[in-house]
Structure 1
């Protein structure tokens, strides 16, 4: 980056760290540290939730996914408004009435300490792993900027975020998130504007959308019902509804936001802000990824967007790469010519020619990615490098620093909130609940900071272990889907099943988790249509595909917990009689 960009980046990060830490220093007890003394305004809470979700993961992963595939990913957010309305009438007033610290405190009174501890443990495991991905996401950007290994950038951002979070409390988190949201929206808007500015003068916005539509990049809705497909409207309305209900209603990192509200009305308004804004925001981010694809139809694009070219050990493999590069350049020019011809004369023949050329070009791209995978002996692609490449090579000096600063600061803000939630559960549900000694608030506040450091180190190690993945945004939701459905099932038993007891709830929770694990490992053989159970340590044959996609694990886990919980509760009551 240019020195001006570095200056902008350093200045903005300096302000962010100062702004967050100055609020954290005001914390005198764990209620102020974790809940800001329940004094936050509704709009700040709502924007904080939005900023946490619209983190570096959203910038990098979602835009890259739209570039590589299409806009169908937006379908999983169709359930957000419905989830927000349901939560505003159920769990939000329930939590607000009890005035608790943790989302899982309420489980002990009805189902016992074991259920509370096990449920909170599932949260710690799921968010601990998820936090590793949140740290890894902006590390891709830093790796491009600094030209250093990904592991080094993970360590830098992980340590920085941990130190910042140790000082800042939830008040600093929320107030800083609001400022990060403004910078993120500016970055998104400027990238979209700059794409339109840098396209050929003859290519209008409607032309760009026409080209994208011709290639199927604007496909956003899939009406087919197929549980083996990741994204269709039924997945978004049904399966994702359980994911969103659990995420916003039982995940401490989200619940903790509206626990800081001044009133029930404010808590509801903060969630409704997300209900109104989430789908349009995600749609726009996906559209940005599609527009990037159109931009590189006319602009110079590398065969892959990876920052480091692997070195081939064999000359023939290196020669293969040079041949693929030549083929790619020829097809890129041919596709550009086909796009221009199509815009001048929008005929079926020209559209077919444009699509066929694009398919051939993508085939060459995929061949190069496969070649790189063979060299590195690992499953890699360039989905998470696309937007960073555009920012570094196309955005003007000065603005680069501000956009990168926004991504970096958004990541810090997301990590901050997650670490704060993990520390809350560790202290409130475990240390304070199980501690036989009567300790003062200053002691627990001190250990809250120590716990934050512990989770920061663990998350950084998780980021190093996870390394790269085909889509950051997908992996986050996949990790959540292992846990969210089952946790939601326990809260369904709590709110609506009067006969449910502690034995039933705990048995149902364990059964739900076990069922989710088993169904996630069921694969279908494409040719014979036979099903097989393949354990994680076994290699999955190429001809096998998942029998059920990860989003459907959420309603599955909820259903198993509820039905097993009811059955075991009734059986237990009969045995006691």
Structure 2
């Protein structure tokens, strides 16, 4: 980057640390540290929730996903408005009435301490691991900018977020999230504008949409019902509803935000802001990825957005790369000419030629990615490098720093809220609840800051262990789907099954987690109809794919917890009477 961009980026990071830490004086007890003394306005909470959602994963992963595939990923957010309405009439009033610190405190009164601790433990494990991915995401950009190892950039991100969260508490988290959201929106808007501005003069916005639609890049809805498909309408409306209900209703990182509200109405308004804005925002980010694809129809794209250099004694692989580059250049020119011909004369014949040229280009690109996998001896692709490549090579000096600052803002706004939530559960549900000594507020405040640092360290180590992934946006949702459905099931028992007891809830929770794991390991061979249960340490035979995609694990987990919880509660109640 240019030195001007460095100044912009450093200024942003410096301001964020100052802005987050200056609220430390308002967090002089654990209620201030964790709940901002229940004084936050609804718009700040709502923007903070949206900022957490619009993480660096959203910037990097979602745009790359749309570039490589299409816009069907937006379907998993179709359930967000329905989930928000349900939560505003159920769990939000429930939590507001009890005035608790933690979402899981309420479980102890009905189901006992064991259920509360086990549920909160699942949250700690799932979000701790997920936080590692959120830290790793912007590290791709930093590694590309600074030309230093990924591990170094992970350490920079993890330490920065941990520092101001430890000092400022939830008050600093929400206040900085609001400002970070503004920078994120600017970065998104400018990227979209700049892509359109850089297109050839005779290519209008409508032309861009036409080309994208011809290639199927604008496909956003799939009405077919198939639980082995990741993205379709039924997945978004049914399976994703369970994910969103659990995430916004039982995940401490989200619940903690509306626990800081001044009133019940404010808590509801903060969630409804997300209900109105989430789908349009996600659609716009996916459209940005599609527009990026159109941009590289006319501006020469690299064969791979992530370059890998062959090591010694790999001359054959290197020669293959040179051959692929020549094929790629020819395919690119052919696709570019086909696109211009199609825009001049929009016939079915020209459309088919354009589609064939695009297919040929992507076949060469896939061959290059396979070549890189042989070099690295790992299963990687360049999905997470597409947007960073565009920023570095196409955006003007000065604006690069602002956009990179926007990606930083997205990362920090997700990390800080997760750290504060993890610290809350560690102190409130575990340390303070199990501590037999009578300690003062100052002691627990120090412990809360220590817990924040501890989780920041663990999350950073998790990011180092995870390294690079195929699609970070998918991976973070997959991790959540292992836990969210089962946790939601416990709250369903709490609110709507009056006869449910602690034995049934805990047994159901354990059964739900086990069932989710087993269902996730079922593979089928579409060719002959065979199916197998394949453990993570076993090799997946050729031709076998997962029978159930990860989003459907959420309703599976919820259903098993509720059914098993009801059955065991009935048997236990009958056993006690006898």
Deviation at 1:131, TM superposition (A): 0.1
Residues of 2 paired with 1:180 and 1:499: CA distance? 46
Judge conservation of contact 1:312–1:318 (CA < 8 Å) in 2: no
Please show how residues 129-528 of structure 1 align to structure 2 within 5 Å: 129-311=129-311, 313-528=313-528
Residues of 1 paired with 2:262 and 2:334: CA distance? 61
Judge conservation of contact 1:95–1:103 (CA < 8 Å) in 2: yes
1:250-286: CA deviation from partner (whole Å, max 9, x where unpaired): 0000000000000000000000000000000000000
Residues of 2 paired with 1:569 and 1:441: CA distance? 39
Residues of 1 paired with 2:199 and 2:542: CA distance? 40
Judge conservation of contact 2:57–2:134 (CA < 8 Å) in 1: yes
Deviation at 1:542, TM superposition (A): 2.8
Residues of 2 paired with 1:312 and 1:394: CA distance? 33
Residues of 2 paired with 1:429 and 1:214: CA distance? 54
Partner of 1:168: helix, strand, or coil? helix
1:462-496: CA deviation from partner (whole Å, max 9, x where unpaired): 11111111111100000000000000000000000
Judge conservation of contact 1:33–1:171 (CA < 8 Å) in 2: yes
Residues of 2 paired with 1:274 and 1:295: CA distance? 30
Comparing 523-532 with 507-516, greater Cα deviation is found at 523-532
Partner of 1:532: helix, strand, or coil? strand
Judge conservation of contact 1:307–1:385 (CA < 8 Å) in 2: no
Residues of 2 paired with 1:460 and 1:526: CA distance? 40
Deviation at 1:307, TM superposition (A): 4.8
Say if 1:145 and 1:98 are closer, same or farther in 2 by CA, change over 3 A: same
1:357-390: CA deviation from partner (whole Å, max 9, x where unpaired): 1011101101100111111110100000000000
Partner of 1:541: 541
1:411-447: CA deviation from partner (whole Å, max 9, x where unpaired): 1121111000000000000000000000000000001
Residues of 2 paired with 1:342 and 1:311: CA distance? 42
Say if 1:183 and 1:340 are closer, same or farther in 2 by CA, change over 3 A: same
Partner of 2:570: 570
Residues of 2 paired with 1:226 and 1:213: CA distance? 24
Deviation at 1:308, TM superposition (A): 4.2
Deviation at 1:327, TM superposition (A): 0.5
Residues of 1 paired with 2:168 and 2:307: CA distance? 34
Partner of 2:23: helix, strand, or coil? helix
Deviation at 1:310, TM superposition (A): 4.3
Deviation at 1:525, TM superposition (A): 1.3
1:286-345: CA deviation from partner (whole Å, max 9, x where unpaired): 000000000000002100101543436421111111101110011001100000000000
1:531-577: CA deviation from partner (whole Å, max 9, x where unpaired): 10000111112311000000000000000000000000000011111
Residues of 1 paired with 2:523 and 2:221: CA distance? 26
Comparing 395-404 with 309-318, greater Cα deviation is found at 309-318
Judge conservation of contact 2:181–2:409 (CA < 8 Å) in 1: no
Residues of 2 paired with 1:449 and 1:121: CA distance? 19
Residues of 1 paired with 2:10 and 2:51: CA distance? 21
Residues of 1 paired with 2:309 and 2:337: CA distance? 28
Partner of 1:78: 78
Partner of 2:4: 4
Tell me the TM-score normalized by structure 1.
Answer: 0.99
Deviation at 1:352, TM superposition (A): 0.2
1:180-200: CA deviation from partner (whole Å, max 9, x where unpaired): 111100100000000111000
Please show how residues 42-81 of structure 1 align to structure 2 within 5 Å: 42-81=42-81
Judge conservation of contact 1:5–1:398 (CA < 8 Å) in 2: yes
Partner of 1:451: helix, strand, or coil? helix
Judge conservation of contact 2:46–2:274 (CA < 8 Å) in 1: yes
Judge conservation of contact 1:144–1:307 (CA < 8 Å) in 2: no
Judge conservation of contact 2:511–2:560 (CA < 8 Å) in 1: yes
How many residues are treated as equivalent by the alignment?
577
Judge conservation of contact 2:308–2:375 (CA < 8 Å) in 1: no
Partner of 1:553: 553
Aligned-residue CA RMSD (Å): 0.8
Residues of 2 paired with 1:158 and 1:402: CA distance? 20
Partner of 1:254: helix, strand, or coil? helix
Residues of 2 paired with 1:464 and 1:25: CA distance? 33
Judge conservation of contact 1:158–1:460 (CA < 8 Å) in 2: yes
Judge conservation of contact 2:332–2:361 (CA < 8 Å) in 1: yes
1:120-161: CA deviation from partner (whole Å, max 9, x where unpaired): 000000000000000000000001100111112112211222
Comparing 241-250 with 19-28, greater Cα deviation is found at 19-28
Residues of 1 paired with 2:461 and 2:201: CA distance? 48
Residues of 2 paired with 1:255 and 1:520: CA distance? 28
Partner of 2:15: 15
Residues of 2 paired with 1:25 and 1:542: CA distance? 59
Judge conservation of contact 2:310–2:318 (CA < 8 Å) in 1: no
Judge conservation of contact 2:129–2:459 (CA < 8 Å) in 1: yes
Residues of 2 paired with 1:50 and 1:313: CA distance? 50
Residues of 2 paired with 1:141 and 1:237: CA distance? 33
Which structure 2 residue ranges, 5 or more long, are not aligned? none
